[in-house]
Amino acid sequence: MQISNNSIATSMKYSPPTMENQKSQGFVINDLLTANDKSLVKAATDGLQATSSSGLHEINQLATRIALDRETGTLSGEVDANYINKLITEQSSNNHAETIQFSDLQKSLAFLKQERADFFRQTGV
């Protein structure tokens, strides 16, 4: 492949992006979320893409945290009550700084509780 800058030309061999290159370039949140993650986020935050009162799109903090934890390997299984409670504890010990709104975390716990109840009802256990 020829690359030129004004009158200077150099030759470079093209190599496709590797997993290492792709990781250093970032990631797409929706690509890292499982179907269950997306259901939980939608139930807890009213959608994957949060919208402010003025109609502007905002970052969905819950989706972002789950995606980051999946990307770093902190979260490998499904999101469960233990994971949500860990997030609540982290925020509580951080002078109640609401990275993720506590109401969204409480809705997440309620969703997981309902999902579990539905599972047991369907299986007859």
Residue 32 and residue 71 in contact, taking contact as beta carbons nearer than 8 Å:
yes
> What pLDDT sits at residue 55?
73
Range from 14-18, 46-50, 89-93 that averages highest in pLDDT: 89-93
Per-residue three-class SS string for 100-122: CCHHHHHHHHHHHHHHHHHHHHH
Helix (H) or strand (E) holding 8: strand 8-11
Residue 86 to residue 82: CA distance in whole angstroms: 6
Model-level pTM? Answer: 0.70
Chain segment 88-124, per-residue pLDDT in tens: 999 988 776 778 999 999 999 999 999 888 777 787 7
> What pLDDT sits at residue 96?
64
Chain segment 59-93, per-residue pLDDT in tens: 899 999 999 999 999 999 999 999 999 999 999 88
Candidates 67, 47, 109; CA nearest to 84 is: 109
> What pLDDT sits at residue 4?
36
